[in-house]
Amino acid sequence: MSRKEKLPKKKKSFIRRLFKWTGLTLLFLLIAIILIPIIFKDEIKEMVLKEVSKSLKADVTIKDFDLTFLSTFPNVTIQLYDTKVTGRTEFKGVELASVKTIEAHVGLWDVIGGDEIEIDEVHISDAKFDIRVDPEGKANYDIVIPTEERPVEDQEPSKFKMSLKEYSLNNIQIVYDDQASDMYANIKNLNHTGEGDLTADVIDFETSTQMDELTFEMEGLSYLSKVKTDADVNLLMEFKEDDSKFTLKENSFALNNFKMSLDGFYQMLKDHDQMDLKLNTKEISFKDLLSLVPSFYQSGYESMIAKGDLKMNGEVKGRLDEKNLPGWDFGLNVNRASIKYAGLGSINNITVDAGSKFAGGSNLDKMTLDVTKFHSEFVGNLIDANLKLRNPITDPLINSKLKAKVNLATIGKVMPLAEGESYKGKLNADVALNGRMSSIEKEQYEKFDAKGLIELFDFLYKSKDLNEDVNVKDLTFRFSPQNLTLEKMHANMGKSDFAMDGKIDNYLGYLFGNNKEDQLLKGAFNFNSNNLDLDQLMGVSNAPAASTASAEPAPADPNAEPLLIPENVDFNLNTNVQKLHYNGIDVNNLNGNVNVKEEVASLNGLTMNTMGGTVGLRGSYSSKDHNKPAIDLGYNLKEIDIQEIASHFLTIGKLAPVAKYAKGKFSSTLNLKGDLTKALEPVYNTLAGDGDFFTNTVTISGFEPLKKLGDALSMDKISNQTFKDVKAFFSFKDGKMSLKKPLKIKMSGIDTEITGSTAFTQEIDYKMLLQVPKAMIPGGIVKAAEQGIAKVNGIAPKLNLGSIPDIIPVNALVGGTVTKPVIKTDFKEALLKATGNLKDNLKAQGKEMLDKAKDSVKIIVKDKVDEVKKDLIAEKNKIMADAQKEADKVKAEAKKAGDQIRAEADKQCTAAMDEAGGNIVKKKIAEGTCKELKKKADNSANKLEAEAQTKADNIMNKAREKADAVK
């Protein structure tokens, strides 16, 4: 029994030991899992930033950094949070990438060893990429510093190695703007995954891609517009020393409802590329094809019935190198097709026969483009068109016809329109073009047949997206080989009317020319209007202008794109507008010329009557640098109302803050150059130029620097000023508006000379020399100063201090900001200095006696100044406080009366609604009655409150005048 009892003990002991060591091991691993990320976190973060800084010519910031392997053991997960990559040079300040989360998986022993870290997974989430290429071809993504350009110490291989087997992109937004190639793409909410051992020589690579919206534009044409995209692509990738081949296996692409697949391969050889790709569209229908057309896909597409035979083919095959292009064959054929929406008529007999072919090679002149037929009919309307293009490179041969006869009112009978949208009018088109471009270039117009016209009659378009209906009475375009002529156009929108005529030269060269010179589009137009209300057309509120002046401008959209002037146009527009309303301003007799050429829009001799005077403008806006538009402008203003220009143009508040507090008329000239932001706001520190300002009379009140100056000199009448015959000359430079020469004015009878500047950030830096008459100094201060002089002369008779002269020169330094000025004056010292020859008698009388005398005068003058100032302030404050009480009482009584009027209207409204009960007709009538009652009540109450405000303002103005008279 004893032996049997021992055997279980040994077994139990072994299990205990097993659990013990397993527990210790797990404990050790748990401790390691917790400690390793903590121990190596800072080291790896430093390594990441070091690698980035030595290899990129861009600024990289990482808000947070973390390490963990709780979920990816035995791999370590590196996590970067809020990573941003920002340009340094040509694209300074542009964020190439802003990524919420970057996650990379690396081996545990790589982290511990530290010699080399292999990354086998990367996952990027919630990111925005702003990719740009400027007109010169410089790209903001070209940020990797070539190894040979790095310092010697930074040329060793990176410690990070890519050995990807899996990656993903989640919720990615991409904007691609290639101005050199005139391409633009916008991708919203991209989700993409890829799997496969990317370190192998032969890779079976699987990808999946989804995009909520894909937009693609090139050379002014929109190819894809907000297309939902879904793609699953499997690639067999084979890598050899001089040969890389990508073979498409199972794959599918879906653009909206348009589904297709690709068969074939793309091979990269040593000196050229070879490809053989074929489009497979066997499963698509005519309706699927229509899903790529925004007007069909975005309006009742699901309920639309589309029928017809569809054939579509496409293949690209051959050699690609610096001289050769592969051949292609694309075709689209639609027969006996129709489109019908529920409850509407149908579009019938749709026929499309189009294609393009190229055999391949270096001679693109052999490419063909044909639209043999395009035809459709609906509700008695007809559209027919064709196009044949040959020799597109050397001498394009164009043969094209367009015929259309459309009653626009019938569009709504075959297509669903947006709520509130409608069309009326008739469109007729009959155009034929046939000939070679060489005939146009040689001015042999008889060899090129170009004739026909496009006419629009009684066109009326309504939409809830437009503030006013568009009404075109008549419009006629006529075609000839030389030009396209707008013979007439008369239109109305709301209160506005306008008429245009003119012509466009070289329209064929613009469409089919082979070089930049051939493609220059020229035009000359005349624009006339009796009344043009731009505020109404743009939906601008008719709120009083004064409220606009005090409002802060809306923040600029950081993603705004600048207004780009086309490169290959030369347009002239002669303008004559009798009455114009814009930004709350009424303008009369607007005349001038606008020229658009080589990415620059210029104003020439533009004149108008507005804001109580006349305005002459000249200048230009250039978009040659698409990221940094520039202005070069000048004006000549005569007798303009200061309050009007300050209230309507917020930029005036930056350039001349005092304008907001000034009343009167002025004349001025200005020449100014500078850069604009992409949102077309001035970059103030780039503004450079000069100008002048003249006014016969200007009144300034409430301007804080003047108020503070009056306080410093104990002369409150300085706070509100009327200046006469002001002549100022100024310049703009380094973000400041500076006086070019001293400004000489008379301020409350004080001859004053001013020099200095105002920064566009509102800091002020001015020096003022005031010739202060003795008679204007408060009597108590003068008496105290004279007593001090008498006391000094009693202490030291030989000093022989004179009496205070009639004029005392006083210096004032004005700093701080416009709203919080800081004033420093030498007023007290000036009084002392003006009494005589203290400095001259210094040696004769001895420094001690002189200091004693100076101190005596200073103490007496200072004490008396403070005493007088304190009494004056107390008396002024009492006057203003009493007035404020009276003004508040007037406004309170008006508000009470207004509230009673509104309450009575609400009472009557409630009674009317109660009486209507559940009767729908009566309820509608009651609602109209309520609306009218409340409107009248508001008008009456607002009138009472406005009258009270005016009365209160008068009370305060009279009190202010009374307080200013106290001295």
Q: What is the pLDDT of residues 555-577, one digit of tens each?
A: 555 555 667 788 888 999 899 99
Beta bridge partners of 571: 523, 596
Q: How far apart are the first and last CA of the chain?
A: 124
Locate 677 and state its tokens: 């932001």
**DSSP letter (8 states) at residue 837:** -
Burial letters 339-374, b for 16+ CB under 10 A, else e: bbbeebebbbebbbbbbbebebeeeeebbebbbebb
Question: How many whole angstroms separate alpha carbon 788 and alpha carbon 796?
Answer: 12
Question: Can you spell out the DSSP letters for 423-457?
Answer: EEEEEEEEEEEEEEHHHHHTT-GGGSEEEEEEEEE
CB neighbours of 439 closer than 8 A, spacing ≥ 6?
445, 447, 448, 481
State the burial class of residue 920 (Cβ atoms within 10 Å of its Cβ: 0-12, 13-18, 19+): exposed
Per the document, the length of the chain is 967
- For residues 527 and 573, the answer to whether their CB atoms sit within 8 Å is yes
> What SS3 class is residue 81?
strand
* Phi then psi dihedrals of residue 861, to 5 deg: -65, -45
Place of tokens 């086998």: 120
Place of tokens 């929108």: 493
Q: pLDDT digits over 751-791, tens only?
A: 889 999 988 888 889 998 988 887 777 766 666 566 666 66
Burial letters 10-38, b for 16+ CB under 10 A, else e: eeeeeeeeeeeeeeeeeeeeeeeeeebbe
- For residues 184 and 177, the answer to whether their CB atoms sit within 8 Å is yes
CA-nearest of 255, 252, 253 to 288 is: 255
- For residues 610 and 587, the answer to whether their CB atoms sit within 8 Å is yes
Ranges of H-type helices in 666-806: 704-713, 779-795
Question: How many whole angstroms separate alpha carbon 173 and alpha carbon 214?
Answer: 10
**DSSP letter (8 states) at residue 56:** B
- At 133 the pLDDT is 86
Question: How many whole angstroms separate alpha carbon 946 and alpha carbon 938?
Answer: 12
Place of tokens 């599918």: 252
Q: pLDDT digits over 582-638, tens only?
A: 777 888 998 999 898 888 989 888 899 988 889 898 989 898 887 788 999 888 999
- Given a cut of 70, the residues of the chain with pLDDT beneath it are 1-55, 68-75, 107-117, 147-164, 198, 514-518, 539-562, 650-651, 653, 779-804, 831-872, 916-925, 928, 964-967
**DSSP letter (8 states) at residue 661:** G
Phi-psi region of 891 (alpha: psi -120 to 50; beta: other; left: phi over 0): alpha
Question: Can you spell out the DSSP letters for 86-103?
Answer: EE-STTTT-EEEEEEEEE
Question: How many whole angstroms separate alpha carbon 135 and alpha carbon 5?
Answer: 93
Question: How many whole angstroms separate alpha carbon 605 and alpha carbon 618?
Answer: 6
- At 960 the pLDDT is 77
Question: How many whole angstroms separate alpha carbon 731 and alpha carbon 647?
Answer: 23
- For residues 37 and 66, the answer to whether their CB atoms sit within 8 Å is yes
Question: How many whole angstroms separate alpha carbon 553 and alpha carbon 559?
Answer: 17
Question: How many whole angstroms separate alpha carbon 349 and alpha carbon 340?
Answer: 12
Enclosing H/E stretch for 49? helix 2-55
CB neighbours of 637 closer than 8 A, spacing ≥ 6?
613, 614, 615, 616, 666, 667, 668, 669
* Phi then psi dihedrals of residue 340, to 5 deg: -145, 130
Question: How many whole angstroms separate alpha carbon 859 and alpha carbon 862?
Answer: 5
- For residues 530 and 592, the answer to whether their CB atoms sit within 8 Å is no
> What SS3 class is residue 157?
coil
Burial letters 619-628, b for 16+ CB under 10 A, else e: bbbbbeebbb
* Phi then psi dihedrals of residue 159, to 5 deg: -75, -15
Locate 857 and state its tokens: 């005068």
CA-nearest of 377, 384, 573, 578 to 497 is: 578
Instruction: Give 315-318 contacts, CB < 8 A, sequence gap 24+.
Output: 315/276, 315/277, 315/278, 315/279, 316/275, 316/276, 316/277, 317/275, 317/276, 317/277, 317/360, 318/274, 318/275, 318/360, 318/361
Locate 580 and state its tokens: 């114009």
Question: How many whole angstroms separate alpha carbon 293 and alpha carbon 273?
Answer: 34
Ranges of H-type helices in 473-591: 507-512, 534-538, 545-550
HSE-CB of 141 using CA atoms within 13 angstroms: 11
CA-nearest of 588, 583, 627 to 609 is: 588
Question: How many whole angstroms separate alpha carbon 365 and alpha carbon 374?
Answer: 25
Locate 582 and state its tokens: 């814009």
Query: Would the CA dihedral through 341, 345, 348, 352 be positive or negative?
Result: negative
Question: How many whole angstroms separate alpha carbon 486 and alpha carbon 475?
Answer: 8
- At 685 the pLDDT is 84
Locate 603 and state its tokens: 């104003």
- At 843 the pLDDT is 43
